[in-house]
Amino acid sequence: MIQKYEAHLRNEKCMAPRSVRDYMSVAKELAGMFDVLNGLTYKQINDAVAAMKARLNWSQGTVYKYSICVKHFFKWLQREGYRQDNPYPFSEWRKPRPTSPAFLTQGQFDFMIDDPFLSHQEMTLLWILWDSGARVGEIEKMKQSNIDLVKKIVNIPYEISKGNYSYRNIPISDKCTDMLLTQFAYLQRRGHKESLFVNADNEPMTKSGLQKIVSAIGMRKSPLRPVMRLSCHQFRHSFGIRMIEKQVPQVIVQKWLGHQTLQMTSHYVNMCPDSSRRIYETYNHQK
C-alpha cells in the first residue's frame, strides 16, 4: 500500500522529489504508529500530528504543511478503497499569519551592488531581479532572445510565466541593459546562445542555483551593509513597492508583475508604512 501511494505521488501527482519525500515521511510515520486501514478517529490522528510537532520541534508553518500531507494520505486511502471513511477530512492546523513581506530599499540595493567581491554574473542577476520584478523561476527559463537590448525590454511570454497566463514586456534601465550586454558576450564565448546564467560546470543555472547565489550574497560580510537573509522574491516585492511609490498606475504594475488581480498588486501599497506616507505626501502636495 505504501509503495502504491509513492507511485501515485510520483506518477499521478507528478510531485517533485522533495515533495514526495515529505508526503512519504508522514505516511510512513503514521503507518508505524497506527493501523491506518482500520479504526482511527480525527482526535487520534490530530494528537499524533501534535506529538510529531513536539518531538521534531516543528514550527507552525511546518506542522501546517505536514497536516496537508496527512489529509491527502487519508483522502487517497478512501479513494482507493483501503478505507470506507476518511477520518481526517480537514485540518485544524492553520498557516501562520504572514508578516509584511521583506523588501529592499534603494539604499540597501546600492550598497549591495557596490560590493567589490561581486562577480559580473552575480551583479547581472541582482540587476535583472531589481529592474524586472520577475520571479526566479521565470528568470531560470528565460532565454537571451527574451531580452531586447535595443528597446531595453524584458519579455516574459506565456510559456515561462507562472501559471502560463501572463504575457509581459517590462522596461529595464540602461545599467541593467549594459550588464546584460556584457553577460551575453561572456555566455556566447562559453558556447551558450540561450541561457542567461551558467554555473561553474558551464551548465545552465537552475532555480535553486540562482536562489543560492542571492542567499550567499546576502550572507556575505560587507563593510557597507549588515549580513541579511536575502531571497530572489524580495527583489520582486521591492519592484512592486518602487513602482507604486513612483506613481505608476496599479494596473500597469499588475501587468508588469503578472498578477491575476489588482487585489494582489494593491498589497504592495500597505506593505511599508514609510512608503504609504511618502505616497500620501506626494499627492497631498500636488493638491
Verify that 61 and 124 share a domain, yes or no: no
Write out the residue range of the structural domain in which residue 50 sits: 2-79
> Residue 272 belongs to a domain with what CATH number?
1.10.443.10
Residue 197 contacts residue 121 (beta carbons within 8 Å): yes
Verify that 160 and 275 share a domain, yes or no: yes
Q: Which residues pair with 170 in a beta bridge?
A: 154
Residue 237 contacts residue 102 (beta carbons within 8 Å): yes
Verify that 57 and 195 share a domain, yes or no: no
Verify that 176 and 256 share a domain, yes or no: yes
Distance CA 260, CA 275 (A): 23
Print pLDDT tens along the chain (287 aa). Answer: 899 999 999 999 888 888 899 999 999 999 999 999 998 999 999 999 999 889 888 888 889 989 999 999 999 999 999 999 999 999 888 877 655 457 888 888 998 998 888 999 999 999 999 999 999 999 999 999 999 999 999 999 999 998 888 899 999 999 999 999 999 999 999 999 999 999 989 999 999 999 999 999 988 877 777 788 889 999 999 999 889 888 888 899 999 999 988 888 877 766 556 666 766 776 676 55
Residue type, 247: Q
Residue 129 contacts residue 214 (beta carbons within 8 Å): yes
In-domain check, residue 85: no
Verify that 151 and 218 share a domain, yes or no: yes
Verify that 139 and 193 share a domain, yes or no: yes
Verify that 74 and 123 share a domain, yes or no: no
In-domain check, residue 238: yes
Residue 279 contacts residue 248 (beta carbons within 8 Å): no
In-domain check, residue 88: no
Question: How far, rounded to the nearest angstrom, does the alpha carbon of residue 34 sit from its chain's CA centroid?
Answer: 36
Verify that 146 and 213 share a domain, yes or no: yes
The pTM of this model reads 0.64
Instruction: Say how many domains are in the chain.
Output: 2
Verify that 175 and 36 share a domain, yes or no: no
CB atoms within 10 A of CB 20: 17
Distance CA 160, CA 5 (A): 31
